[in-house]
Structure 1
Amino acid sequence: MTLTIAVLIPAHNEEATIGELVQACLDQPYPVAQLIVVADSCTDRTAQVAREAGATLVLETKFADKAANQNAALPYITADVIVGFDGDSRPTRDCIGLMVADIARGYDATCSSILPLQDTGFFIEARRFAYSLGSQWWRICQRTVGRLQVLTGASYAFRTDVVREVGGFPNGLISADMDITWKLHEGGYKTWYTAEALTLTVDPETWAEYRAQMPRWAAGYFQNVARYRRLMLNWRSMLTVGTAMFDLVTLWWWIFVVVYNLTTWQHLSMFRYMGYWFAGHTALTMYLVSRVVGWKKAALGFAPYTLLNFYNKYLYTRSMFREWLLGRHYASWTGRSGRKTVITPMTRARRRALGTVGAVAGMTVGLLGAFHGSVPLWAIGTAASGAIPLSMIRLTGSGRRRAAHDGITITPAPEQAVTQPLAAAAPDSDPEATLQLATIRH
C-alpha cells in the first residue's frame, strides 16, 4: 500500500524562498497529495507566491507560533503522512521518498539530513561542519539507541495518526521541534533518522543573525529536558542527554586545567598528551565531515566551527543556569517570528530559596576560613553570605521590566483568515472552529 503524503510548510515572510520550496516539493518523484502553506503574521507576499507556485491550500494566520500554525493545518490533512519543511528550506531530489520509505518500514517519525543552502561564509562554513559532523556521528549514535534528541523541524516526516494521538504539535516551549520529538518518546513511538535524505536550509550569515538564533536553541534544549525529566530515568534518554551534558562540561574542565597549569607552572607534561588528543580528535572529525562535504569544505569549516563552539558552549551553560537554577525562561524571541524577546523573571519563592541557600553557603565558607585561619576564604564567605541574598531582592523603581508576569500565560488567538474554501478540510472536521479556538503562548 502506497502511503499518501501531505506537505506542511509553516512560513513567516518567506516571499523570497516559498515559491522555490513549493515547486521543489511538487517536483519530487514521490507524489504529493496535499501541499499546505500556513502564512503566519506575514507582511509580504508569502501567501500569494505560495498559491501561484501550486500550493493546494494556503492558510493565513496571526499566531507567531510554529506549533500553533502546524496545528491549524491538521484538520485539513487527509493524507497518511505529514512531511514538514521550514519556509526557507528546499528538499533535494528523492528527499521525501526516502523519508516516507522509512515510515513505511514501521517508524512513526523521521527527519532528513540538513546542510546550509548558502555556499560560503564564516557562519555558513561553521554550520556546514556542525551539520556534517552531526549526521555522521551524533545522529547516527542517537538513532542506534533509539533516542534522537530532536527531529529537525526543517525537514521531517510524521505519521498523521500519531501526531493526532499525541494531541497535535505541542507548544509552550521556545523550541517546538524538540518538544514534539520527546512527546513521541514519551508515548513510546519509534523515531528514525533518514541520513540519506537531504534538505538545504537558509542559515545565519551574520553575527547578528547567529547571536539571535543560538540563545533560543540553547534555552529550548533545557526547557525540553526539564519538561520530560521523567524520561531521563530511561537508559536510552540518560545516555543521549548525558553524553551531550558531558560534552558541555568537558570543554570548561579542559579550560580550567590549562589555566591552572599555566598559572602554577605545574604538570606541563600533560600538554603533550593534550596535543595528541587534539590531533586525534581533529583527524577524526575532519574525516567524518569530509564524507559528507569533501576535504576542502571540511578544512574550510574546521576553524570557524571550533571558534564558535566556545561561544555555543557558553550560551548553553548560561541557559542551563538561567532555565534550571534561576527559573527564568525564554518565552519568545526576536527572530523571524516577528516577536520581541521575553525572558520571564524569577518567582518570589525561587528568589527566597536561592537567597537562603546562598547565605548558608557563604556563612559555611566563612566559618571554614576562620577555622583554618584563611583570611581570603573567610572574607569571600562573609561577603557572599551578604551579597547573594541582596542580589535576590527585586528593587522597585521606574525601570521597565522585560515581562509582566512571573510565568508564561496562555491567551486566545484571534480568528484567522482562510484563503481557500473550507471544503478542502477533512469531512469530519470543523476547521473554522479549530482556528478560532487555537491558543498561543506569550
Structure 2
Amino acid sequence: MHTITVIVPAHNEEEGLPATLESLASQTVLPDRVLVVDDASTDRTGEVAASHGVTVLRPPRNLGSKAKAQNYALPHCTTDLVLAVDADTVLAPDYIETVMPVFDDPGVSIAAGTVRTRHTRTLWERGRSTEYLFGFHWHRPIQARANSPMVCSGCCSVFRRDDLMAFGGFPERTIVEDMDYTWAQQIAGRRAVYVSDAVALAADPEDLTYLRKQVWRWMAGFCQNVRLHLGRLILHKPLLAVWVLLALLEILTAPLWWATPFVLTATTDQPPALAFLWWAGAELLLTTPPLLYAAHRRKLPLATVLLNIPCVYATKAVNLVYAWKALIVELLLVPLHLARGLTVYEKGRADTASARTALAGT
C-alpha cells in the first residue's frame, strides 16, 4: 500500500485555501500528511491552514516561486509518494484513490489527472474551460496512448518521492517546473502517466490582467523547456519530441490560419461573409467533436459547453500573442544573449482581498 504526503504551496491564499484543504480531508484515501507552505503571506493563510489541522511550514522569507516553496517542504516528506496541489485547486473525492494504483508499476515516476475549471463566470474562465475540455479529451488521451504525455499538470501531480529526491527536487531552472520534470523523467526512461478518471478543479484567471501573466509564464516556460530538452527528446523520447515540434508548428502557422478569411476575401471573388462562414465551419468541424465527447464523458450540460465555444477565441488570441513573444524572447534573444528570459514567477490570480488592503496601506 502506498503512502502519500500532500504539499500545498500558498502565498496569500486565505480565500481559496479552505476549499483545497477540505477536498483533501474528504478524500476516499486520506493522505498521511498535509504540508502547507505559507510562503511569506501577508494575509491569514497560515492561520487558515492551521485551523484545518495540517502542518504549516513558514520559510523565513518569500521564496519567489512554487517550485522553491515545494522544495522547502520536500525534506519533511517521508512517504513514498508526494502530491503537489495548488492552493486554489479542489480535488475530486476519489482523486488520490484513482491515481495511486498507477504507481504499482515501478517505472512510473509522475502522474496526474484531468484538470477542469472551478468557475465559468467570466469570458476568460469560459474560454479556459473550453481549452481544458478540448485538451484533456483530445490531445492528452492521444499522448497517453503513445506513452508520451506533454505534461503532468503541476496543480495536481503525484510524484514518486525517490525519483524526485534523486532528481534534486522540483526543478527551479525553468519557470514551469511541471513540464520540466515531466520531460526530464521521460528522457531518463521513466514513465509519466495521465489518469483521465481523476479530476481536479483549478481556479483560473478571472480577468485579462492575470490571464496575461499566467499565459506568459506558461508560454515562456514551454520555450525554456524546448531550449533545455529538445535535443535529448529527439534522441531519447522521439515521440514526445514530435508533440513538441507540432506545438511549435501550430504557434508558427496560427497567424496564417487566423488570416485565412481575409486572404480568401482579398484573393477570390468570395464575399467576406462567405469566407468567414467557411473558416468558422472548418473551425467547428475540428473543435466540436472532442467537446461533445467531453460533455458526455464528464456529464456536463451540452448547451453550456457549446455556448462557451466563442469565448475560447479570446483566450486563443492571448495565447497566440504570448506564444510568439516566448518564441522571440526565449528561443531567439536568450540564446543570442540579448535577453534574460522570464525568471520572475507571478501568479495567475490576484492576492486575496485582505492582502491587497494590507499592501495598499504599506
TM bin, normalised by shorter chain, reads 0.7 to 0.9
User: Relative to structure 1, is the Cα distance of residues 336 and 64 closer, same or farther in structure 2, using a 3 angstrom cutoff?
Assistant: farther
TM-score scaled by length of structure 2: 0.86
SS in structure 1 opposite 2:82? strand
Give the counterpart of 1:278 among 280, 283, 298. 283
CA distance in 2, matches of 1:52, 1:275: 51
Indicate if the aligned counterparts of 1:15 and 1:44 stay in contact, CA closer than 8 A: yes
Larger mean CA deviation between 191-200 and 301-310 belongs to 301-310
Q: Does 1:34 align with 2:33?
A: yes
For 1:101-250, list aligned pairs within 5 A: 101-106=101-106, 107-233=108-234, 234-250=237-253
Per-residue deviation, 1:158 = 0.7
Indicate if the aligned counterparts of 2:16 and 2:87 stay in contact, CA closer than 8 A: yes
Indicate if the aligned counterparts of 1:111 and 1:192 stay in contact, CA closer than 8 A: yes
Q: Does 1:15 align with 2:14?
A: yes
SS in structure 2 opposite 1:191? strand
Larger mean CA deviation between 127-136 and 176-185 belongs to 176-185
**Deviation string, structure 1 residues 95-151 (Cα, Å, up to 9, x no partner):** 111111222244221012111222422111111111111111111111122222221
SS in structure 2 opposite 1:21? helix
Counterpart residue number, 1:326: 333
For 1:386-405, list aligned pairs within 5 A: none
- Letter of the structure 1 residue corresponding to residue 257 of structure 2: W
Counterpart residue number, 2:360: none
The structure with higher relative contact order (CA 8 Å, sep 6+) is 2
User: Relative to structure 1, is the Cα distance of residues 59 and 282 closer, same or farther in structure 2, using a 3 angstrom cutoff?
Assistant: same
CA distance in 2, matches of 1:278, 1:56: 49
Counterpart residue number, 1:46: 45
Counterpart residue number, 1:78: 78
Counterpart residue number, 1:417: none
Indicate if the aligned counterparts of 2:24 and 2:30 stay in contact, CA closer than 8 A: no
Counterpart residue number, 2:321: 314
Per-residue deviation, 1:336 = 6.5
Per-residue deviation, 1:166 = 1.2
CA distance in 2, matches of 1:246, 1:284: 23
Indicate if the aligned counterparts of 2:220 and 2:330 stay in contact, CA closer than 8 A: yes
User: Relative to structure 1, is the Cα distance of residues 337 and 67 closer, same or farther in structure 2, using a 3 angstrom cutoff?
Assistant: farther
SS in structure 1 opposite 2:327? helix
Q: Which runs of 5+ in 2 are unaligned?
A: 352-362
CA distance in 1, matches of 2:135, 2:349: 26
Q: Which runs of 5+ in 1 are unaligned?
A: 340-442
User: Relative to structure 1, is the Cα distance of residues 285 and 306 closer, same or farther in structure 2, using a 3 angstrom cutoff?
Assistant: farther
Kindly, what percent of the aligned residue pairs are identical?
Answer: 24
CA distance in 2, matches of 1:11, 1:261: 50
- Letter of the structure 1 residue corresponding to residue 72 of structure 2: A
Per-residue deviation, 1:220 = 0.7
CA distance in 2, matches of 1:20, 1:252: 40
SS in structure 2 opposite 1:331? coil
TM-score scaled by length of structure 1: 0.71
SS in structure 2 opposite 1:228? helix
Indicate if the aligned counterparts of 1:22 and 1:54 stay in contact, CA closer than 8 A: no
SS in structure 2 opposite 1:120? coil
- Letter of the structure 2 residue corresponding to residue 230 of structure 1: G
User: Relative to structure 1, is the Cα distance of residues 282 and 150 closer, same or farther in structure 2, using a 3 angstrom cutoff?
Assistant: closer
SS in structure 2 opposite 1:193? strand
User: Relative to structure 1, is the Cα distance of residues 275 and 217 closer, same or farther in structure 2, using a 3 angstrom cutoff?
Assistant: closer
Indicate if the aligned counterparts of 1:12 and 1:336 stay in contact, CA closer than 8 A: no
CA distance in 2, matches of 1:207, 1:188: 39
Structure showing greater Rg: 1
Counterpart residue number, 1:440: none
Per-residue deviation, 1:258 = 3.8
CA distance in 1, matches of 2:268, 2:120: 45
Indicate if the aligned counterparts of 1:133 and 1:288 stay in contact, CA closer than 8 A: no
Counterpart residue number, 1:342: none
User: Relative to structure 1, is the Cα distance of residues 335 and 221 closer, same or farther in structure 2, using a 3 angstrom cutoff?
Assistant: same
Indicate if the aligned counterparts of 2:7 and 2:85 stay in contact, CA closer than 8 A: yes
Per-residue deviation, 1:74 = 1.5
- Letter of the structure 2 residue corresponding to residue 181 of structure 1: T
Larger mean CA deviation between 9-18 and 290-299 belongs to 290-299
How large is the RMSD of aligned CA atoms in angstroms? 2.4
CA distance in 2, matches of 1:5, 1:146: 24
CA distance in 1, matches of 2:253, 2:301: 29
CA distance in 2, matches of 1:279, 1:17: 35
Per-residue deviation, 1:85 = 0.4
Q: Does 1:302 align with 2:301?
A: no
Per-residue deviation, 1:264 = 3.3
SS in structure 2 opposite 1:335? coil
